Structure 1
Amino acid sequence: MLTITIGGQAGAGGHEIGAEVSRKLGLPLVRTLAIRKLARRLDASVDAIVRKELAFGSKRVRFANALEYGLYRSAMYGWDPHLAVDFGFWSDSDSTKRYLPDQISTDEYRDAFYATSEDLRSMGDSVVVKRAGCLSLNDSPGVVHVGIFAPREQRERRLANRLQVGAGEAARLVRRFDNDRRAWFSKLAGTEPEDRNLYDIVLDVDHAKSDSDIADSIVRESIQVKYGDEAHPVGAY
Structure 2
Amino acid sequence: MPVVTFNGPIGAGGNEIGLKVAGILNADYVDRLILSEAAKRIGSSVEVLHMKEQRTVQMRDRISYFLQTMLERSAMSGAAGEPYFSAGMEYLPSEEYSELVQEPQTAAQKLNDERVLEVTSAVIKDLAKSDNVVIIGRASNIILKDTPGALHVGLVTPPDLRIRTIMERENLSEKEAERYVTETEKARVMYYKKFFKVDPITPHLYHLILNTEKVDSDAAAEIVVTAARRMSEAATAGAASPG
TM over 0.5: yes
Which deviations, in whole Å up to 9, do the C-alpha atoms of 1:41-85 show, x marking residues without a partner? 32223469xxxxxxxxxxxxxx996454247899xxxx9979539
Aligned to 1:27: 27
Consecutive unaligned residues in structure 2, runs of 5 or more: 49-54, 67-85, 93-107, 238-243
Which deviations, in whole Å up to 9, do the C-alpha atoms of 1:120-140 show, x marking residues without a partner? 124321111112210221211
SS in 2 for 1:146: strand
Amino acid across the alignment from 1:119: D
Aligned to 2:172: 165
Distance 1:40 1:183 in 2: 26
Deviation at 1:225, TM superposition (A): 3.5
Consecutive unaligned residues in structure 1, runs of 5 or more: 49-62, 86-100, 232-237
Distance 1:81 1:15 in 2: 18
Which deviations, in whole Å up to 9, do the C-alpha atoms of 1:176-225 show, x marking residues without a partner? 1111111211222111221221111111221x543122211211222234
The 5 A counterparts of 1:8-27 are: 8-27=8-27
The Cα RMSD (Å) is 3.3
Aligned to 2:223: 217
Greater gyration radius:
2
The 5 A counterparts of 1:51-200 are: 66-70=58-62, 83-84=90-91, 102=109, 104-200=111-207
Amino acid across the alignment from 1:210: D
Distance 1:216 1:103, change over 3 A: same
| Equivalenced residues, count | 196
Q: Percent identity?
A: 24
Residue pair 1:9, 1:193 contacting (<8 A) in 2 also: no
Distance 1:158 1:71 in 2: 18
Deviation at 1:104, TM superposition (A): 4.4
Aligned to 1:88: none
Residue pair 1:71, 1:81 contacting (<8 A) in 2 also: no
